[in-house]
Amino acid sequence: MNIKRNFKYSSLFLILLFGVCTNNIKVVKPKNLIDESKMEEILFEATMMQVMNTFSEKNLDFVKILGAPYLYLKHGVDSLQLMESEEYYTKNPKIYHRIYSRVLARMQKEKDSIDIIIKD
């Protein structure tokens, strides 16, 4: 019974996925699009900050100093530019997948480095 239900959900997911991916809407590139390499940096750092923030009590000073304002200043972007760039990349799944694959590879490399230190 579970197999049939899982198959139904999987089939529904695939149908929706193909329906969304075949959408022919033209995606307009924003004027101030963040390039892929900088977007990768921002997403990696934002993810690492989020991970660090979940392992300890919320330190409001940490969030104010090393939160979103830090990313904006460091990378010379603003929240609107980041939002528009993220929206553009999410509507171009091949590019977004490429960016996130590199982010995940970097995260794995960091994890491996930490694992080596812990073993020693």
CA dist 76 → 29, 37, 73 (Å):
19, 14, 5
Please give the residue that has the higher pLDDT: either 19 or 32. 32
Sign (positive or negative) of CA dihedral 67, 80, 31, 95: positive
Q: pTM (2 decimals)? A: 0.68
**CA nearest 46: which of 70, 65, 30, 64?**
70
- Under the banding of pLDDT at 50, 70 and 90, the label for residue 94 is very high
- Under the banding of pLDDT at 50, 70 and 90, the label for residue 50 is confident
Q: Look at residue 20 and tell me whether its pLDDT is greater than 60.
A: no
The full set of domain ranges for the chain reads 29-119
Most confident by average pLDDT, 10-19, 30-39, 42-51: 30-39
Name 7's Cβ contacts closer than 8 Å, sequence gap at least 6.
Answer: none
